[in-house]
Structure 1
Amino acid sequence: MSKRDELSINQQELTAAWQRTLPDTMQKADRAEVMADEADPKALRVTIHTAGHQMYSFDFKVTYVDSREIQTTLVDVEKDGKSIDERTDIIQQLVEDYTRHIHECAQALHELTHA
């Protein structure tokens, strides 16, 4: 029986690595917060605040399926602290962008996550 490809880093170290790396994969003006998901040891919570006057914030759950692959789930989009419809074109475009940045960050951390 083969050993499953498990994540070999603890959540605290993983969170710290994401906090260091994610800003490098994003546009400089946007701001990201990364926190451990307390309900799931293989998951992180990522909040991205858009630059400029839009005042959008995007909440994602990033779950490690294995040591290389992540699953990114949009949890919520807010504007000025209020939930908004995330199906509009501009929001969908931003979600795609940020999802790509999140995946780039995960790739940049492969050395750390894939022991």
Structure 2
Amino acid sequence: MSKVDELKLDQTRLANAWRETLPTVLNATDRCEVFEDEGDDHSLRVTIHGAGHQMYSYDFKVTYVDSREVQIELIDVDQDKKSIDERKELVQQQVSDYIRHLHECAQALHRLTKV
């Protein structure tokens, strides 16, 4: 049985739409980068550079399960370009916040991704 509700949007167009939309749902001082995932054409790689003196950056993999649902996986957290333990409470709070923003972005793009 084939999946009826598959994502029909080209990965490059999807990445471009995320590049335009994600900054509108993040905090104004945060920066982000969005890339196509070369190993998975249903996924994007997102790096969010948090504002502030800690110099944290968060790498996520955003995978479209279908045209509406995304699965978000934290890949890595860096502080000043060095990997850190992402179990710290402050980092976990930020990760939760960013995951919520990533879901908001996916929701804002439903008009493009729906079948």
TM-score of the aligned structures, taking structure 2 as reference length = 0.97
Unpaired stretches in structure 1, ≥5 consecutive residues: none
- Runs of 4+ in structure 1 displaced over 6 angstroms? none
Unpaired stretches in structure 2, ≥5 consecutive residues: none
Aligned to 2:17: 17
Aligned to 1:109: 109
Aligned to 1:81: 81
Q: Kindly report which structure 2 residues correspond to 1:1-115, keeping only aligned pairs within 5 A, or say none.
A: 3-115=3-115
- Counterpart-to-counterpart distance in 2, 1:15 and 1:2: 25
Aligned residues: 115
Identity %: 63
Superimposed CA distance per residue, residues 7-45 of structure 1 (whole angstroms, 9 cap, x where no aligned partner): 010000000000000000000000010000000000000
TM-score of the aligned structures, taking structure 1 as reference length = 0.97
Superimposed CA distance per residue, residues 46-98 of structure 1 (whole angstroms, 9 cap, x where no aligned partner): 00001111100000000000000000000000001100000010000000000
- Counterpart-to-counterpart distance in 2, 1:52 and 1:74: 20
- Counterpart-to-counterpart distance in 2, 1:54 and 1:91: 10
Corresponding letter in the other structure for 2:13: E
